[in-house]
Amino acid sequence: MLQVRTQTISLSSAQWQTLEKQALALSRYIVFESADQTSAWYGFGATAICKPANNAAGYQKVANWLAGLHQQMINSINPEMLAILGSFTFMKIGKQQHNDWQKLRNGYFILPRFLIKKTAQKTDLIETTEQQFATADIVQDFKQYLPQTKVANNLDKLSYYADAKTWQRHVAEIVQQIQGRSTLEKVVLARTLQVNNEMDFDYAKILTRLRQKQLAVYHLVLKVDHQLFVSATPERLVKLTASVLQTAAVAGTAPRGVEKYQDQALGTALLQDKKNRSEQQIVVAEIKRRLTPLTTHLEIPDEPILLKSQRVQHLYTPIRAHLAANENIFTLIAALHPTPALGGYPKEAALTLIRRWEPDFRGLFGAPFGYVTFAGTGEFAVAIRSMLIHGQRAKLFAGAGIVAASDPKQEVQETSLKFEPMLTLLQ
């Protein structure tokens, strides 16, 4: 049985920095910070864990697990105050190697032992336990739960490895297949960049840089044992509040300009580029097709706008709808993931080529990462612009949408640009 209690608290920036260092000494720590900075969830430790499985059944497994947690509650609180947090995987493993992901290889969801929910109005501390509360004071319990930390003094000396030539050759082969098959329109191919350090990476320093350098994007963090997954993604998969859902079609990439006039020129060129507009329209049409049976009052603008992050900008179409009866956030995720922006189109044909040509299992890269409250509301982002770190080794992920008009050399340049958000956290 589960007991829950809450209290509104106040944390200074200095107290928060100390708190996060302690959190990173725990075996489990998870963060979801919204792109608009209006809300955030932080999970410390775990009262319960669910590993979804890397296939379609994983969504229902997590839904059933959440329903079971509901039934174990012996005291009532506002269900919007309590949430599970975690990530699914991008897709089924198949025959690919996945040793890098260890405990994360099937996805990972947590009902945190302690949860902090931050909004613009207040900060709440929530404690959930299967035992009796240790003391009558929730804040005292929290302080006792957190471990003491050692001061890290790591000097980063980095080396890099990326097999860009092999990946470029794979892109060229996929372009030929798309040109030769009238039904295959797009394949999103990912590649990796290996970064090695002479000492263990300082996880606290990386998260400080994440908030300093990667603005106006989602911040996603999951630490399990000694592994740390980090994402600074601009892309929402789905947000559900009451019965209203929000999602978006994102595709096409251009760099940001140093000066305002350069930035505007690059954005205008992206809006007018036929290849990128075609790629983005594929995403819009497919999301519409998938949402139609699950929703009512589907609203999709005719023209995209620009979504700008620190280093790049994308074509962006916001989408809203009302959720149909008997549907929930898990059925939405199952329908939407992966969108053509992360998988390709048609879905199954594209995923078959991804399994064939990608040497690395994507794991949480490009996967739905987010939270679901006990009221059934929640939000999931698409975990792109991400990396997996374990001690002295970091693996960065980036993908590019390959269509018939793609230039393999330009796709290498685009993915190199997409590595930069994570590289800035390591350097």
Torsion angle of C-alpha atoms 127, 227, 203, 192, degrees rounded to 10: -130
Residue 136, Cβ neighbours under 10 Å: how many?
A: 8
Q: How far is CA 183 from the centre of its chain?
A: 30
Is position 186 annotated as part of the catalytic site?
Answer: yes
Place of tokens 């018939």: 404
Q: Which of 61, 117, 186, 418 is catalytic?
A: 186
CB 108 within 8 A of CB 224: yes
User: Which residues have C-beta within 8 Å of that of residue 114, sequence separation ≥ 6?
Assistant: 43, 44, 45, 125, 126, 127, 128, 141, 142, 145
Q: Which of 33, 235, 286, 379 is catalytic?
A: 235
Q: Which residues sit opposite 388 in a β-bridge?
A: 229, 395
Query: Cα separation of 202 and 195, whole Å?
Result: 14
Query: Cα separation of 331 and 336, whole Å?
Result: 9
Place of tokens 């929000």: 246
Query: Cα separation of 85 and 165, whole Å?
Result: 38
Q: Which residues are known to be catalytic?
A: 186, 235
